Amino acid sequence: MGAEGNESLDFLSVFLTGVPGLETQHGWLSVPFFLMYIVAIVGNSLIMAAVQGDSALHEPMYLFLSMLAVTEVGVSVSTLPTVMGILWFDARRVGLGGCLAQMFFIHTFSCMESGVLLAMSYDRFVAIYNPLRYTAILTLPRIISMGLGITLKSVAFMAPLPVLLRQLPYCHINILSHSYCLHSDLIQLPCTDTKLNSILGLAIVLATFGMDSLLIVVSYVLILYTVLGIASGEGRRKALNTCVSHICAVLVYYVPMIGVSVMHRAAKHASPLAHTIMSSIYLFVPPVLNPIIYSVKTKPIRQGIVALFSCKKQLT
């Protein structure tokens, strides 16, 4: 660390923020937050277990869905310790190393989620454009390769962020504006120029989330073009119906992300509570809603989850 720093990075701490203006209500607020974590972790875990346990669900669409569930459990588990620590125990202090690790995992799993949503849009395009060769194109080795590629890409893009932040001097009160560590928050703390970190962060966002969202839009343009070429109205309806759950998942993921970005740039003077609510919606709502969406809209997933409990009853 530079000479300006007052503490060794090994002992430097940052202080997280709970829900601004509602600090006295943290005990009550912990109930809905804890319930959201339970729904997100249990719901996505049930989807993973259903896909793994039912051979009828070993199809590309459901394998990608299980990957999405993995990323959402990852995001939830990454934020849970600090969020519930603040709400239950008012534990706001966290070491810089732990904060950087949490930042890395939150952003890495979020990036993986975006990549999986893109892979799922490609899956829907192949299923509609070339249904006869669907399973021949999306073979198990190819799906595994896509999953590994998404993981490696996410890790490679996000790994430089904590490494660069560790090189900077921290010499003032280190208070973050959320109950978890994000890159956009952490680059405000060093007492030196962080322009390089800001540019790198923006470049990563454009290369990952920006490119993924653009390719998802392209995929759905091609899907719509293909569906319009189907002769029967019933065929068009069935083809589009297979995309409904994925479209909902994409909207649930990207709409809050866009909202957070707009507020960060266009509504900087909005109340801290408004920023906290938008960030919480972005991180907490997709892991909670997606298992519900896919369980309601996808009959084989619903049957697979029911089968899990049927097997448990038979065993007991």
Q: What is the CATH number of the domain that holds 126?
A: 1.20.1070.10
**Is 7 part of a structural domain of the chain?**
no
pTM of the model: 0.93
**Is 278 part of a structural domain of the chain?**
yes
**Is 5 part of a structural domain of the chain?**
no
For each of the chain's 316 residues, which pLDDT tens digit applies? 444 444 456 678 899 999 998 989 999 999 999 999 999 999 999 999 999 999 999 999 999 999 999 999 999 999 999 999 999 999 999 999 999 999 999 999 999 999 999 999 999 999 999 999 999 999 999 999 999 999 999 999 999 999 999 999 887 678 998 999 999 899 989 988 899 899 999 999 999 999 999 999 999 999 999 999 987 888 899 889 989 999 999 999 999 998 888 777 676 677 888 888 888 999 999 999 999 999 988 999 999 999 998 866 565 5
Residue 76, domain extent: 15-313
Total domains present in the chain = 1
Give how far Cα 268 sits from Cα of 179, 279, 280, Å. 19, 14, 17
**Is 10 part of a structural domain of the chain?**
no
Name residue, tokens 């091609």: 222
**Is 235 part of a structural domain of the chain?**
yes
**Is 4 part of a structural domain of the chain?**
no
**Is 242 part of a structural domain of the chain?**
yes
Give how far Cα 275 sits from Cα of 49, 79, 143, Å. 35, 17, 37
Q: Name residues whose C-beta falls within 8 Å of residue 96's C-beta, 6 or more positions apart in sequence.
A: 9, 12, 13, 14, 166, 170, 174
**Is 1 part of a structural domain of the chain?**
no
